[in-house]
Amino acid sequence: MIIYVVREGDSLYKIAQAYGVSYQMIADDNELASPDSLAVGQTLVIMTDTIPHIVMPGQSLYSISRGYRVPLNDVIAANPEITNPAQLSVGQLVKIPVSQPKLGTIEVNGYAFPNINAEVLQKTLPYLTYLSIFSYEVRADGSLSAPVDEPLIQAARQANVAPMMVITNIDEEGSFSSELVHVILTNTAVQDTLLDNIVEILQSKNYFGLDIDFEYIYPDDRQNYNNFLIKVVDRLRPLGYTITTALAPKTSGTQQGLLYEAHDYPFHGAIVDHVILMTYEWGYTFGPPMAVAPLNQVRRVLNYAVSVIPSEKILMGMPNYGYDWRVPYVSGTAAETISNVGATQLAVQEGAQIQFDVEAQSPFFNYVDQQQQRHVVWFEDARNVAASLRLVSEYDLAGVSYWTINRFFPQNWLVLSSMYDVKKLL
């Protein structure tokens, strides 16, 4: 696999020729809407194991291998037809190997809303270990507001993907409610009813496990949440179900704020099977323009997380979206969510040059709309997908979790499958 960054004057045909692959293969693999129109700075994933090199005067196999920073023995092995490596002819074709050994096998979770397009779901399932269906919403009496989840459960199991039941403290107005989850966490009778309902759904719908995504919990309910998790684990684990919790992206145990304080990293790490770190939303709808998941910030979260949670229990959050902000930014104004594919198409449409922030390891671009309003767009591309996925190996994590898979991002899956094998539990 090669991640190619489009330069001024490039065309897809020219790039395909340079790498000895077909124009159509690159267009199809990357699902390019307009293959004949590229943006400078755009990434293309080229699924090839070798780069063709034409021997120039004075070159040897040794100098060629050094130029590409590929071990000489690897170049020799990739060119068995070269019987005498010491003798090359000008104009001769030498294949330069670029494939790297995979970094291991990881677990991959994908959150999905029930309205996910069936084709998108089918294309994504081969890359998943778990499909977390969002969501069952708890109610103050212990009942649950249910999504239409049966088609997704069936599709997941047919693809050997483990379906996960997700419960949230999202209220009837559609927001995470501190007061709602306070009622759940402080009333044992309501907890018992809730657990009875959870078990009934897990069993009747053939779920694999439970994912608890309780957010914006009052700080004073931290221990109540821990006690609730004990009850959940004591009830579900003997029945063979796996338990996962979603955690805010903390950088220390003393981090303040409603989103963070009740999420007890060491306790969750000790009691549940997996934790999902929500390592995204630094750039968010009502915030100032910046990368959604800047790698320098993600590292800070991982550095703390692995110090208090077994690394093999951690799934690192991966965003599958970007934002389009109007600039100059005015506090309180909303950015528009944009898909990663849509962001690249917008850059092409506007003739914008995509830039790359090295510290954040994230792409962005600027443009001016028809009303002469300036914009900046931060999104994800193959470069920062690869950089993010390398953290899994570096920190010895269990894997990653995508929010969400409702929009298909072909480059992500090409990069992931080139770097790792995906664990299947069914």
Of the three residues 44, 66, 97, the one that is the final residue of a domain is 97
Supply the pLDDT for residue 77: 93
Of the three residues 97, 132, 152, the one that is the final residue of a domain is 97
* Residues 89 and 128 reside in one and the same domain: no
Structural domain of residue 85, as residue ranges? 2-97
* Residues 259 and 135 reside in one and the same domain: yes
* Residues 168 and 258 reside in one and the same domain: yes
Which position among 107, 215, 261, 380 bears the catalytic label? 215
**pLDDT by 10s per residue, the chain, length 426:** 999 999 999 999 999 999 999 999 999 999 999 999 999 999 999 999 999 999 999 999 999 999 999 999 999 999 999 988 888 999 999 999 988 889 999 999 999 999 999 999 999 999 999 999 999 999 999 999 999 999 999 999 999 999 999 999 999 999 999 999 999 999 999 999 999 999 999 999 999 999 999 999 999 999 999 999 999 999 999 999 999 999 999 999 999 999 999 999 999 999 999 999 999 999 999 999 999 999 999 999 999 999 999 999 999 999 999 999 999 999 999 999 999 999 999 999 999 999 999 999 999 999 999 999 999 999 999 999 999 999 999 999 999 999 999 999 999 999 999 999 999 999
pLDDT tens per residue across span 321-353: 999 999 999 999 999 999 999 999 999 999 999
* Residues 82 and 60 reside in one and the same domain: yes
Contacts of residue 258, Cβ cutoff 8 Å, sequence gap at least 6: 178, 216, 217, 218, 219
* Residues 10 and 138 reside in one and the same domain: no
The DSSP output letter for 98 is -
Of the three residues 41, 62, 97, the one that is the final residue of a domain is 97
Give the pTM.
Answer: 0.95
User: Tokens 């994590």 map to which residue?
Assistant: 397
Strand, coil or helix: 384: helix
User: Tokens 């298909």 map to which residue?
Assistant: 408
For the residues of 297-361, what is the DSSP string, one character each?
Answer: HHHHHHHHHHHHS-GGGEEEEEE--EEEEEES--TTPPPEEE-HHHHHHHHHHHTPPPEEETTTT
* Residues 73 and 119 reside in one and the same domain: no
Domain count, the chain: 2
Residue 352 lies in a domain: no
* 215 part of the active site: yes
Residue 371 lies in a domain: no
CATH for 257: 3.20.20.80
* Residues 77 and 141 reside in one and the same domain: no
Length of the chain: 426
What burial class does residue 333 get, using C-beta atoms within 10 Å of its C-beta: 0-12 exposed, 13-18 middle, 19+ buried? exposed
What burial class does residue 135 get, using C-beta atoms within 10 Å of its C-beta: 0-12 exposed, 13-18 middle, 19+ buried? buried
* Residues 167 and 274 reside in one and the same domain: yes
Residue 42 lies in a domain: yes
* Residues 197 and 233 reside in one and the same domain: yes
* Residues 302 and 417 reside in one and the same domain: yes
User: Tokens 């990663």 map to which residue?
Assistant: 340
Supply the pLDDT for residue 100: 85
Estimate to the nearest angstrom the gap between the alpha carbon of 422 and the chain centroid: 13
pLDDT tens per residue across span 277-319: 999 999 999 999 999 999 999 999 999 999 999 999 999 999 9
Q: Are residues 120 and 407 in contact, defined by beta-carbon separation less than 8 angstroms?
A: yes
CATH for 32: 3.10.350.10
* Residues 273 and 125 reside in one and the same domain: yes
Residue 148 lies in a domain: yes
Written as six digits, the tokens of 254 are: 């003393």
* Residues 244 and 143 reside in one and the same domain: yes
